[in-house]
Structure 1
Amino acid sequence: MAQNEKPLPDDEVRELDPRSLRGLAHPLRMRLLGALRDYGPATASQLAERLGESSGATSYHLRQLAAHGFVVDDPERGKGRERWWKSAQRGTRVGNDFHTHPDPAVRGAINTLLHEWATVHGQELSTWIGSIHTWSAEWREAADMSDFKLRLTPELAGEMRNKLHEVIESYREKEVDQDTENSARVRIHLHAFPRDEH
Structure 2
Amino acid sequence: MDEIRLDARTLRALAHPLRIRLLGLLRGEGPATATGLAQRVGETSGTTSWHLRQLAEHGFIEEDAERGNKRERWWKASYESTELRMEDFRGDTESAGALAAYLYEIASGAYRRMTTFLADDWSDAWRESFVMSDQDLPLTPAELKAMRTELHDVVNKYRRAERTGDETVIVQIQGFPWKRP
Shorter-normalised TM range: over 0.9
Q: Which ranges in structure 1 are unaligned for 5 or more consecutive residues?
A: 1-10
Distance 1:61 1:141, change over 3 A: same
Tell me the residue number matched to 2:21. Answer: 31
Is the counterpart of residue 141 in structure 1 residue 128 in structure 2?
A: yes
1:98 Cα deviation from its structure 2 partner: 4.8
- Following TM superposition, where does structure 1 have runs of at least 4 consecutive aligned residues deviating by more than 6 angstroms? none
2:60 to 43, 60, 70: 70
Tell me the residue number matched to 2:162. Answer: 176
Distance 1:147 1:51, change over 3 A: same
Tell me the residue number matched to 1:8. Answer: none
Tell me the residue number matched to 1:13. Answer: 3
Q: Partners of 1:120 and 1:146 in 2: how far apart?
A: 18
Is the counterpart of residue 86 in structure 1 residue 69 in structure 2?
A: no
Q: Partners of 1:123 and 1:141 in 2: how far apart?
A: 21
Tell me the residue number matched to 1:59. Answer: 49
1:50 Cα deviation from its structure 2 partner: 1.2
Is the counterpart of residue 187 in structure 1 residue 178 in structure 2?
A: no
- The SS at the match of 2:4 is strand
Backbone CA RMSD of aligned residues: 1.2
Tell me the residue number matched to 2:140. Answer: 153
Q: Partners of 2:132 and 2:172 in 1: how far apart?
A: 10
- The SS at the match of 2:159 is helix
The alignment of Structure 1 onto Structure 2 pairs a total of residues equal to 181
Q: State whether residues 8 and 89 of structure 2, in contact with CA within 8 Å, keep that contact through their aligned partners in structure 1.
A: no
2:117 to 113, 117, 128: 128
Q: State whether residues 66 and 72 of structure 1, in contact with CA within 8 Å, keep that contact through their aligned partners in structure 2.
A: yes
Q: Partners of 2:33 and 2:123 in 1: how far apart?
A: 33
Tell me the residue number matched to 2:100. Answer: 111
1:20-56 CA distance string (max 9 Å, x none): 1000000000000000001111110011011111101
1:144 Cα deviation from its structure 2 partner: 0.4
- The SS at the match of 2:133 is coil
Q: Partners of 1:176 and 1:54 in 2: how far apart?
A: 33
| TM, length-normalised to structure 1 | 0.88
Tell me the residue number matched to 2:86. Answer: 96
| TM, length-normalised to structure 2 | 0.96
Q: State whether residues 98 and 110 of structure 1, in contact with CA within 8 Å, keep that contact through their aligned partners in structure 2.
A: no
1:99 Cα deviation from its structure 2 partner: 4.6
